[in-house]
Amino acid sequence: NKGKYEHYMQKEIHEQPESLTTTMRGRLKRGGSTKAKTVLLGGLKDHIKSIRRSRRIVFIGCGTSYNAALAARPIIEELSGVPVTMEIASDLVDRQGPIYREDTAVFVSQSGETADTLLALEYALENGALCVGITNTVGSAIARNTHCGIHINAGCEIGVASTKAYTSQIVVMAMLALAIGDDAISSQARREAIIDGLFDLPNKVREVLKLDQEMKELAKLLIAEQSLLVFGRGYNFATALEGALKVKEVSLMHSEGMLAGEMKHGPLALVDENLPIIVIATRDACFSKQQSVIQQLHARKGRLIVVCSKGDVAAVCPGGSSSCRVIEVPQVEDCLQPVVNIIPLQLLAYHLTVLRGYNVDQPRNLAKSVTTQ
């Protein structure tokens, strides 16, 4: 049932304040004046110690689920101190890449039925790794065949393009980082800031959804473009990949997400006054590097669209707001910023598709659940 919405993708984008609330329900404890704020992940309780002690955490997934894990990777590394590596499921299986008994392999999948991810799970089980599932589908093959796991609880997702599952996956993995991270005094303030940030996230998402009309206007400007680049780094490298994936899969416009740090190693050659480029430049430790990327793109007359933190227009537009288009988003704790930042890009992909006259819920050649190799 689409309710007041025209399409499932639109409904699922706008549902995110509620889906995120459901994902966190019963799992975060505020703590009293004397008690610390904590995270409880029932499905992992017997395995937390083994995960903490593992030699490595390997995230395995495809498409959007892979991107969600990429967004969460830095906070898991920071809070747990355990090295984290990333594997696209099909590539791990193709290479028969190394997976060891001392590894924790985390399988991320909305459907829990993706063939490539399931094959990678079989492979990791054969190699003796501790296998954890993060899925949105209770009773799915990945939920059943892993040793333990966390349900995303984002609610049923019908649009082929994954939207609310993505943001809920990031939140689940941020909670995983808190659960496996040690509670050393030195990290206490950081942990509490993240927990407070999680509690407030649905409000911030409600706020960023107000950009809907602005993104429709931007889509009108981009409707006839051949291509769109998205540059991000740090926490928001994943936002660049995921934003570009959304645009290409539904609006059928060529789009590539790129690591901004790689710009000078090739992509810079593409820059001219015609190609639209989205740069994610919200406040975090990489902000000054993104400012310099914007300057370099500006110097080559790049057609810039910058996603920045509220109030930062002057800091991100070298020639003032006439030189680039700016999308201002609320600032949240850095590791949660990808949840906020993806939303204008989801809205952009949605409006571009509708304006271009394509099927937004059922893009050509794609299936919601890819159960064949």
User: Considering only residues 141-160, where is the footprint of ligand M6R by CB under 6 A?
Assistant: 160
Site mask, ligand M6R, residues 162-181, x = CB under 6 A?
x-------------------
Indicate whether 88 belongs to the interface with ligand M6R (CB under 6 A): no
**Options 64, 146, 167, 291; binder of ligand M6R; rule CB under 6 A:** 64
28, 51, 62, 336: residue in contact with ligand M6R (rule CB under 6 A): 62
Is residue 65 involved in binding ligand M6R (CB under 6 A)? yes
CA 193-198-202 angle, to 5 degrees, is 140
Nearest-5° Cα angle at 180, 176 to 186: 115
Shortest Cβ 270–ligand M6R spacing (Å): 24
Q: Rounding to the nearest 10 degrees, give the CA dihedral for residues 74, 43, 200, 238.
A: 30
Residue 345 in 3-state DSSP? helix
Q: Which residue is nearest to ligand M6R (CB)?
A: 63
Q: Give the count of beta carbons closer than 10 Å to the beta carbon of residue 4.
A: 7
Cβ distance to ligand M6R smaller for residue 61 or 197:
61
C-beta atoms surrounding 185 within 10 Å: 6
Question: Of 174, 124, 195, 148, whose CA–CA distance to 49 is shortest?
Answer: 148
- Which is closer to ligand M6R, CB of 150 or CB of 304? 150
Q: Measured from the CB atom, is 169 or 282 closer to ligand M6R?
A: 169
Q: Return the number of the residue (82 or 152) whose C-beta is nearest ligand M6R.
A: 152
108, 69 in Cβ contact below 8 A? yes
Reading the block at residue 125, the tokens are 């089980």
Tell me the residue type at 199: F
Quick one: which of 22, 145, 187, 369 contacts ligand M6R (CB under 6 A)? 369
Shortest distance in whole angstroms from residue 113 CB to ligand M6R: 7
The number of C-alpha atoms within 13 Å of 239 and in the hemisphere containing its C-beta is 27
Cβ at position 336, least distance to ligand M6R in Å: 21
Burial class (CB in 10 A: 0-12, 13-18, 19+), 292: exposed
**Pattern of binders to ligand M6R over 97-126, x per CB under 6 A?**
------------xxx--x--x---------
Q: Which residues bind ligand M6R (CB under 6 A)?
A: 62-65, 109-111, 114, 117, 160-162, 245, 249, 369-370
